[in-house]
Structure 1
Amino acid sequence: MINNDIIKQNNLACENILLTKEEFTNARSGVFNIKLTPTKYVPNDWFEKNLKNHKILCLYSGGQKHIHLLAASGAIVTVYDTNHNQLKEDEKFAKENNLMISTVEGDMTNLEIFKDNFFDMIFCPLSDAYIPDILPIFKECHRILKSGGKFLFSSINSFTKHNQTLEDLIGGQTLAGFHINGFYEDSNNTCHDNFKYFATKAIK
């Protein structure tokens, strides 16, 4: 099982605020900026130019800004999280703005609910520090992605408060069958921590 207290704390490192009207309008036109780590935006070329009807799984990121941006851009978004209240907020936002967002309450260590080769992309920000073994999750993400699908993942690169090693976090993706072809590092100077972060783009 996953430590939900750590999830709440860790989610503060990611954006968890409402969209501005300008951001929403721009996303409707396919223009958006999304973060996997605290300060840097994901490179635009990590996303397809047109996300309309792309099936995207936002893994353990309920209530966060990127969900609404991706849905506003035309994607069909599924949010998988343990936080009931955040999922309800996502459902409310989707209803008010006529967006294709569905929510599933569950533990990311169990993705059996999802079919093989179903999603075009999985977006997983900073959700691994409290998981004993990340490799089974990488394998499940590989299973439920379509061939050519993208896995966008980020983690805290800290060995003092972390259960995984870089061999687990990067090598584990390749062991699961992914091909990593994007990488960047980041830091957070606003939360009074010394953590370093990284993000990867991997292809099935």
Structure 2
Amino acid sequence: MDISKHNSMAWDKKVEEGAAYTKAVSKEIIEKSRAGEWEITVTTGKPVPREWFPATLKGLKILCLASGGGQQGPVLAAAGADVTVTDISRKQLEQDEIVAERDGLTLKTVHGDMMDLNDFEDGYFDMIIHPVSNVFVKDVLPVWKEASRVMKNKGVLISGFTNPLLFIFDDAEERKGNLEVKHSVPSSTLDYLAKEDIEGYLSQKQTIEYAHTLEDQIQGQVDAGFVISGFYEDDFGGRRVLDNYIKTFIATKAVKVV
């Protein structure tokens, strides 16, 4: 099946349902961002350290990669960056467009797949912002390779991704407070379902997620020409039982060196 097409429709549905990562930032946040009081997240709640960014974003060419939803892109545009947002979901991109029109921002949206950035030329962007989203592609390595290709030398990639430990537990039981190890990594949402349940799951336009190894997430960046220069962890903010034991989201700052 076409995973990208399916997840595109699934995220369009999430926008219609008003899911958390489809809700655009407020006018007040944009006003603060214009005044220099801005922050973004690439994980669940912890802001990216300001020292990971240059002193000014003015004129900086930033690609918000698989980052639709009217959150990171509009804030960075309000702070002065030349922002392009690309996402597999057209409705997610519409959230960015709505904020831009509402608040008089200039940003570009491009409908596309994070694994194939053929809409962009080599060495164009100064920075790429990639929030937790590569969980929705089967192979993460092309994401890092394409990010490297479209970025200038010494450019900065700021990424959020899921610690694969999250996926080894039975999700339904974990939400009840029971930590039951059940799945292996790498794996996908469909691997966790009984064969007779897969068709129903897909027909409901639920997202297909993939548990990638940490080797693919971190060494994959290194192999694509990046050097990791920053790292932090995040969690569900106390909403999940796993938060009592481990942080299940990771953010990295990486600099292109080839």
| TM-score under structure 1 length normalisation | 0.89
Residue 176 of structure 1 corresponds to 224
Deviations 1:42-68 (A, max 9, x none): 101011111011111111111232211
| Partner Cα distance (2:223, 2:229) in 1 | 15
Q: Contact between 2:23 and 2:95, CA under 8 Å: does it hold in 1?
A: no
Match of 2:213 among 150, 161, 165: 165
Give the superposition deviation at 1:201. Answer: 0.3
Give the 3 Å change call, closer, same or farther, for CA 16–186 of structure 1 in structure 2: same
Q: Post-superposition shift, 1:7?
A: 8.9
Asked whether the 8 Å contact 2:66–2:88 carries over to 1, the reply is: yes
Partner of 1:196: 248
Is 1:88 the counterpart of 2:94 in the alignment? Answer: yes
RMSD between superposed Cα atoms in Å: 2.3
CA contact (8 A) 2:57 2:79 kept: yes
More helix by share: 2
Task: Quote the residue 2:120 is aligned against.
Answer: 114
Partner of 2:36: 30
The residue that corresponds to 1:135 in the other structure is 141
Q: Match of 1:149?
A: 155
Shift of 1:36: 1.0
Query: 1:78 maps to which residue?
Result: 84
5+ unaligned residues in a row in structure 1: which ranges? none
Q: After alignment, is 79-88 or 154-163 more displaced? A: 154-163
Percent identical among aligned pairs is 40
State the SS of the aligned residue for 1:61.
coil
Q: Offset of 1:190 from its aligned partner?
A: 5.5
Alpha-carbon spacing, 1:34–1:156, altered in 2? closer, same or farther (3 Å): same
Aligned length: 202
2:68 maps to 1:16: no
Among candidates 105, 115, 125, match of residue 111 of structure 2: 105
Determine the C-alpha separation between the residues in 1 that align with 2:130 and 2:48. 12
Instruction: Report the TM-score, using the length of structure 2 for normalisation.
Output: 0.71
1:138 Cα offset (Å)? 0.5
- Rate the CA distance shift 1:86–1:136 in 2: closer, same or farther, 3 A: closer
Contact 1:13 1:38 in 2 (8 A): no
Q: Give structure 1 regions of 4+ aligned residues with deviation exceeding 6 angstroms.
A: 6-9
What is the rounded CA distance, in whole Å, between the counterparts of 1:12 and 1:36 in structure 2?
Answer: 16
Q: Which has the larger radius of gyration?
A: 2
Mapped partners of 1:137, 1:31: distance in 2: 31
Relative to structure 2, which stretch is displaced further, 194-203 or 179-188? 194-203
**Contact 1:57 / 1:78 at 8 angstroms: preserved in 2?**
yes
CA distance in 2, matches of 1:39, 1:85: 23
Indicate how the Cα distance of structure 1 residues 121 and 78 shifts in structure 2: closer, same or farther if over 3 A, else same.
Answer: same
